[in-house]
């Protein structure tokens, strides 16, 4: 608008000047052009500002490359290298697709996931890659594409490819071919894009040769399992979680398979059947211990990260130091390709979270759960350990219906200088079950676990968690105004009794609550007798 305003002001000042004289003045034409440009940009000013802000925020491509190369380096085995490399390439150059086609032994190259049709050994693209050992630009406007035989052009068009890059062994032979689709913005791959892709492919080649060397190593490091073809990461169905060592998967689901976080058979004795849980911090599989003939749960990491490895090992140590009927049992600790794998008791009845998905529970059952878990927390606290993440999804239900605490990934030694109190700038734990003082940054203590257990019991009683959407500033007021009228109790008197319990257990001031797990259990035990009569 500024150029237009200046133009109007100038026109007013020159109102007595002849039009011919104004037209011959260069300054007038420059002012007119500026005003026209301002009028054209005005309707699109929001998009222009967004573009400028995005340009300023664009991270340096070298930083993106370093991060991607590190992810490739940490990939566990050749299948995972293929997946991680393809994902890194898509992120680095904003390609709509990328796949690593692996040499099949007969000279052809095949996509393990079946998303790209095989590249034949006698294809012209294959011969050119072997001779040139450089990236080939196969975009529709590129001259090379027009010179290729019809069969090659059909293969390129069928798979929507714009770039192919060889992944070479140290001896110069091609181990795989990276097939890259079009750029998301429809543009051409420039010199920097090709440099990024080539550098990532070189990093993948180094990781590939390292994985091959590990596969040939017959003396694995202590506690690890020797790599072999059967020790590669398995395939899993993203829909139902079924796991298999090869495709097609036996489930028959329409979804394409994904890469599992473990091989189909671990340590020569655990046969992995399906994925039963997954999150940012870990993934859990149901497996059968073929040696002892029992079902177990295997917890591991979705990818190899130093912080994840440390936390999973600490969880194993915390579980190994505890032995109580209200706590899940740790059977052992395995390792696959430098990644810890916890072998844990399996619960076919699932978790309390799954049970509560169908609504609240009768008051007697709520009290029984509280008594048992309070005793488990009393045992943990007496041994100097805080759980730090008590919630329905971390409470398993045994075949008898008895609850057991799971997931000791945030377990902390009492008084350990609040180690792990904050993760990524936020209090450790699940926000909907954090005590008000935990949100305020207080040092972790037994009260954290007691508050979380009380919220779990309240959720079980009324069928929902009133703190799930509470803002920190409103958390204390929410504790005061929770409506307990919907408690599933056999009689109004029972609801009144539970209301009094929750009023103390979830009191706004920590000093007004139960101070120990023993106190909380002592308050629940008389209720059990009252509600069962």
Query: d(Cα 130, Cα 115) in Å, to the nearest integer?
Result: 23
Alpha-carbon gap, residue 119 to 58, rounded angstroms: 36
Report DSSP letters for 173-225, one per residue.
-EEEEEEEE-BTTS----HHHHHHHHHHHHHHHHHHHHHHHHHH-SSPPTT--
Give me the helices (H) in 281-385, please: 306-320, 352-356, 363-382
Contact 258, 249 (CB under 8 A): no
State the Cα angle at 285 between 73 and 419, rounded to 5°: 65
Distance CA 471, CA 468 (A): 9
Mapped onto helix, strand or coil, the DSSP state of residue 26 is helix
Cα dist from 136 to 3, 124, 160, whole Å: 49, 12, 14
> Between β-strands 426-427 and 412-413, what pairing exists: parallel, antiparallel or unpaired?
unpaired
Q: Which of 492, 464, 482, 495 is nearest to 360 (CA)?
A: 464
Structure token pair of residue 222: 């202590």
- The answer to whether 102 and 112 have CB atoms below 8 angstroms apart is yes
Instruction: Determine whether 389 is an active site residue.
Output: yes
Which residue of the set 389, 483, 511, 512 is catalytic?
389
Among 274, 383, 238, which residue's Cα sits nearest to residue 319? 383
Q: How many residues does the chain have?
A: 533
Pick from 504, 505, 480: nearest CA to 373? 505
| Pairing relationship of beta strands 136-137 and 109-111 according to DSSP bridges | unpaired
Distance of alpha carbon 98 from alpha carbon 116, whole angstroms: 9
Q: Which residues are catalytic?
A: 389
């Amino acid at each position: 608008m500024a150029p237009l305003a200046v133009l109007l002001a100038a026109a007013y000042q020159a109102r007595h000047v002849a039009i011919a004289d104004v037209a011959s003045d260069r300054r007038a034409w420059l002012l007119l052009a500026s005003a026209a440009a301002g009028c054209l940009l005005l309707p699109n000013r929001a998009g222009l500002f967004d573009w400028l802000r995005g340009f300023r925020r664009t991270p340096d491509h070298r930083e993106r490359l370093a991060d991607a190369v590190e992810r490739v380096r940490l990939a566990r085995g050749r299948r995972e290298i293929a997946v991680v490399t393809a994902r890194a390439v898509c992120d680095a150059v904003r390609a709509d697709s990328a796949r690593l086609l692996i040499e099949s032994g007969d000279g052809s190259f095949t996509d393990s996931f079946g998303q790209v049709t095989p590249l034949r050994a006698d294809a012209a693209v294959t011969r050119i890659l072997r001779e040139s050992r450089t990236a080939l630009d196969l975009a529709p406007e590129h001259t090379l594409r027009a010179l290729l035989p019809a069969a090659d052009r059909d293969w390129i068009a069928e798979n929507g490819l714009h770039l192919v890059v060889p992944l070479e062994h140290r001896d110069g032979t091609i181990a795989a071919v990276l097939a890259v689709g079009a750029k998301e913005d429809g543009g051409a791959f420039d010199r920097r894009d090709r440099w990024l892709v080539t550098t990532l492919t070189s990093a993948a080649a180094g990781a590939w040769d390292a994985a091959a060397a590990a596969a040939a190593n017959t003396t694995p490091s202590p506690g690890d399992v020797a790599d072999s073809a059967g020790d590669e990461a398995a395939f899993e169905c993203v829909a139902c979680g079924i796991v298999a060592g090869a495709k097609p998967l036996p489930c028959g689901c329409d979804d394409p398979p994904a890469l599992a976080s473990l091989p189909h058979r671990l340590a020569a004795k655990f046969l992995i059947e399906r994925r039963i849980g997954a999150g940012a911090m870990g993934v859990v599989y149901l497996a059968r211990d073929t040696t002892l003939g029992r079902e177990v749960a295997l917890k591991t990491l979705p990818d190899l990260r130093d912080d994840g490895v440390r936390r999973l090992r600490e969880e194993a140590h915390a579980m190994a130091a505890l032995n109580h009927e209200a706590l899940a049992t740790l059977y052992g600790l395995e390792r696959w390709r430098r990644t810890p794998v916890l072998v844990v008791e399996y619960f076919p009845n699932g978790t309390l979270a799954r049970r509560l998905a169908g609504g609240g529970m009768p008051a007697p059952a709520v009290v029984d759960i509280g008594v048992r878990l309070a005793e488990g927390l009393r045992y943990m606290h007496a041994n100097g350990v805080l759980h730090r993440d008590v919630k329905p999804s971390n409470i398993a239900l045994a075949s008898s219906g008895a609850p057991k605490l799971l997931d000791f990934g945030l377990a902390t030694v009492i008084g350990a200088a609040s180690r792990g109190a904050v993760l990524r700038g936020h209090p450790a734990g699940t926000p909907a079950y954090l005590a008000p003082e935990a949100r305020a940054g207080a040092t972790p203590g037994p009260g954290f676990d007691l508050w979380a257990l009380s919220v779990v019991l309240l959720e079980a009683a009324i069928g929902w968690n009133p703190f799930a959407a509470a803002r920190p500033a409103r958390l204390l007021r929410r504790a005061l105004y929770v409506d307990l009228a919907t408690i599933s109790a056999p009689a109004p008197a029972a609801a009144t009794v539970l209301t009094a319990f929750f009023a103390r257990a979830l009191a706004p001031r920590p000093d007004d609550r139960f101070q120990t797990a023993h106190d909380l259990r002592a308050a629940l035990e008389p209720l059990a007798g009252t509600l069962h009569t």
